[in-house]
Amino acid sequence: MIRTIKYFEIILFSLSLFFVSCEANIDLHNISPEISIDPSLVVPLGGASVNLGDILANNDSQHLFTNNTNEISFQSFDSTEFIFPVLNLTEIPPILTKTINLSPGAVVTFPANFDIPSIYSDQDFDLGLNKVVATERIDSIKIASATLGIKITVENLDINPGNLKMTLSFSEGKLRMLDGSSSSFEFSPKAFNQTENVSFVNFVMNTSGGANGIPLGIKLDANSGSAPLTVGPNSKINIEFTFNKLDWRVMYGKFDLSKIASTAQQIALELDTKLPNGVFKLYNPQIDISAVSNIGMKLGFRLDYLKAFTTTDTVYAQFDGTKTFTSFFDNKPALPGDTATLRLRTFDKDWGQTDKLIANKPKTLEYKFTAFNDTVSDHTQNFITPDGKIKVYLKTTIPLQFGAGSYYQLNDTINNIFKTLADVLDQFTIADIQSTSLVLNVSNGLPVKTELSISLLDSLGKEINPSTDFTKFYEMNAGEVDANGIVQKGKETNQQVVITVTKDQLAEIRKATKIAYKVRVAGADVNSNIYFTKSNTFNLKVGVFVNGKVNTKSKK
């Protein structure tokens, strides 16, 4: 069975949204830090203050983000049940047949209303249990309710059904009623050749010593009736007993855990399609596996393997140089209805090498485990219930933390970027403008540097080519990060970017209605990790500085 994890799609969407949110409020222009302009002389055009945590929280429709710490992580949950096969005691209904002859040796005539001497018979009622006691043994079974079907037929015997009476006795040592009542009961048929049911509840069957079933004692009493009754060797009473319901609650004994067939479980990652425009070297993916058991056994848990693979490459998680390891439940359920829990050590870059596991954008993650009975440390009686199972939970956590050399590239367009600028410039006659600059005061609290490549588009989507000195590639520095890639408090990078616009460029730029851009974000340098947190911010104030004579006739 393959399950698909969606958090990589969310990562991609969130990063895209983040940069769209920032850049949609930023005039991406000819950036050149040539001079520093006094902020008091700059006419404000607008600004943006973006908090990464707020953006993620507002767009977390699938609730995959953790929110109890400053760290941003994406989580996915998966679970699989491994069910102990339920032993159906009546799948093939246990049947016991018995033939009784009232006079096996000679023809005898009993007078009317004569009580024929009681006939006794002891039988073993085979329930089909304990066929292979070397691997599995049932010592006792607690039954909530049972239905015993009884059908009587007669041959060469002229007797009324009501003149027959059976006393059925299950040995006290082999069948015990939990309320302390007798395990014997009387039965008289209402008619021949039809099954009549007898129900009883809350009792325990003892099948210790490898017994296949339980013994049943039969006492048959008959009365000749209102007329003399003649019987002979061919006068037979046939009795058929059938357990057509055995609603058991608990079985005690020894049980074969190999019945829980542990199949490989697969999770589809699809990294090759979710991350097409960059390299995300996930720094420390984490996988948590836990198991809950209600099987009354002390269990061992062996992880056979955890692997990630594509059509051409397979990588196994490594645990101290091996692909497998074994752990044990600390205890077992004390009583039916209780559970025992096992939590494995978190798999990460150190224990499991999860960073290497998914370095090559695997399509599928697969794991397999085997459960077994820990007979070495547990010598107490085991039990199972009809709902016996082991449920395995897998939680995958991807911190928004990337190793050195990671980058991401976003391609998009921004509309109406120059509207506010045009409103300001309309106050001047171009001939009276001595110089024009767009001023960006940037405070970058992101752990990434941003490389921008832009082009201007007209209303038809065609690129506008300003004069040749119009720069098209720009860089904004990241905040100062520590060895883990976390921006240090108070160490945001503050930059003033002055965009010098010539008169020739003004005429051309004013034709633009859109700006197409590529944003590539990467670590502060090729050796730096990237670690996004919810407190990461990007603050920007945009203004225009115009040195010239104001046209007093222009519209205000």
Residues 498, 496: Cα–Cα separation, whole Å: 6
Q: Label residue 253 left, alpha or beta by phi (over 0 means left) and psi (-120 to 50 means alpha).
A: left
Average pLDDT score over residue span 215-238: 94
pTM of the predicted model as reported, rounded to 2 decimal places: 0.71
Q: Tokens representing 502?
A: 């010539």
Residues 438, 44: Cα–Cα separation, whole Å: 10
Q: What element of type H or E holds 14?
A: helix 7-23
Contact (CB, 8 A) for 265 and 80: yes
pLDDT digits (tens, 9 = 90+) for 308-361: 888 788 999 999 999 999 999 989 999 999 999 999 999 999 999 998 887 777
pLDDT digits (tens, 9 = 90+) for 78-129: 888 888 887 888 888 899 999 999 888 889 999 999 999 999 999 999 998 9
| pLDDT band at residue 162 under the 50/70/90 scheme | very high
Backbone angles phi, psi at 38, to 5 degrees: -60, 120
E strands in 173-276: 175-177, 184-187, 195-206, 213-223, 229-231, 236-254, 265-268
List beta partners, residue 415. Answer: 514
pLDDT digits (tens, 9 = 90+) for 187-224: 999 999 999 999 989 999 999 989 999 999 999 999 99
pLDDT of residue 39: 66
Lowest mean pLDDT among 66-70, 83-87, 279-283: 66-70
Contact (CB, 8 A) for 373 and 136: no
Question: Which sign does the torsion angle of CA 185, 189, 194, 197 carry?
Answer: negative
How far is it between the farthest Cα atoms of the chain?
143
pLDDT of residue 238: 96
pLDDT of residue 98: 95
Residues 59, 57: Cα–Cα separation, whole Å: 6
E strands in 295-406: 299-309, 314-316, 325-328, 340-343, 364-373, 382-384, 389-399, 401-402
Residues 112, 91: Cα–Cα separation, whole Å: 45
CA distances for 66 relative to 56, 71, 74, 157, 267, angstroms:
10, 8, 7, 82, 21
Average pLDDT score over residue span 250-258: 89
pLDDT of residue 51: 61
Among 432, 427, 367, 420, smallest CA distance to 396 is for: 367
Among 193, 126, 125, smallest CA distance to 154 is for: 193
Strands 164-170 and 184-187: antiparallel
Residue 424, classed as helix, strand or coil, is helix
Backbone angles phi, psi at 87, to 5 degrees: -80, 110
Residues 349, 284: Cα–Cα separation, whole Å: 5
Residues 418, 438: Cα–Cα separation, whole Å: 11
pLDDT of residue 276: 41
Residue 552: exposure state from Cβ atoms within 10 A (0-12, 13-18, ≥19): exposed
